[in-house]
Amino acid sequence: MAWACCALLMLWPLAATGQAASPGLRETLVDALVIPDETRFSRHRWGHEPDVVVLYFGADWCAPCHAFVPELKRVHAALKAAGADTEVVYVSLDESEADMRRYMNRQRMPWPAIDYRRSRMLVSVRALAGRAPPNLVLVDREGEVIASGWDGGRYTGLKPVLEAWVDAVSRPRDSQ
């Protein structure tokens, strides 16, 4: 089943960094946020919409995703502790809502996710996934893609995206 998801991902268009995402991407994200509890998802609203949103595309069936989440949590916590105006949003590539909830709970993800029931219909978000997880995509306040682990059909990895994330939130606000 996991391979079927990867094959489907290969059919989606890939976003190039430095290009604007589709109109309304940030609004789409805000309207689809949920957080898990043990048995269901609840709607989530940010008290303040962050300057930089990091979309984390992953799945419970993806071993590299499981290995990456602790690093993502560490970087996110360090940036938040330093006062960065940034948040992570999980975008599940799982095959069921139960798989998504299990993965989020098992990894103790401290961030919201895109509502699984709506995620398949959010073409503007899914187009950023890349060919296979894990992937990170940084989106600024205007909806522009700052960095992605996929550059067209080539996987450039997550480390450059993490570095771009630190750089993007470290710049003074008026220079962004």
β 113-114/33-36 pair status: antiparallel
- For residues 144 and 18, the answer to whether their CB atoms sit within 8 Å is yes
Cis peptide before 134 (omega within 30 of 0): yes
For residues 168-174, average pLDDT: 76
What count of Cα atoms within 13 Å lies in the side-chain half-sphere of residue 8?
Answer: 11
Among residues of the chain, what percentage have pLDDT more than 90?
55
Q: Please spell the DSSP secondary structure of 83-125, one letter per residue.
A: T--EEEEEEE--SSHHHHHHHHHHHT--S-EE-HHHHTT-HHH
The two tokens of residue 82 are 């330093």
Q: Residue 156's pLDDT is what?
A: 94
Question: Contact at 8 Å (CB) between 75 and 67?
Answer: no
pTM above 0.85, yes or no: no
- Separation CA 104–CA 42 (nearest Å): 13
Q: What letter would DSSP give residue 82?
A: T
What are the backbone angles phi and psi of residue 6, rounded to the nearest 5°?
-60, -40
* Residue-range definition of the domain harbouring residue 133: 2-175
Largest CA distance in the chain: 46
The CATH number covering residue 34 comes to 3.40.30.10
Name residue 66's amino acid: H
- Comparing 21-25, 101-105, 129-133, 166-170, which segment has the lowest mean pLDDT? 21-25
| Whole-number Å distance between alpha carbons of 114 and 56 | 10
- If pLDDT is split at 50, 70 and 90, which confidence band does 83 have? very high
pLDDT digits (tens, 9 = 90+) for 96-113: 999 999 999 999 999 999
Residue 19's pLDDT is 46
pLDDT band at 40 (very low <50, low <70, confident <90, very high): confident
- Count how many domains the chain has: 1
- Mean pLDDT confidence for 147-161: 94
107-126 average pLDDT score: 88
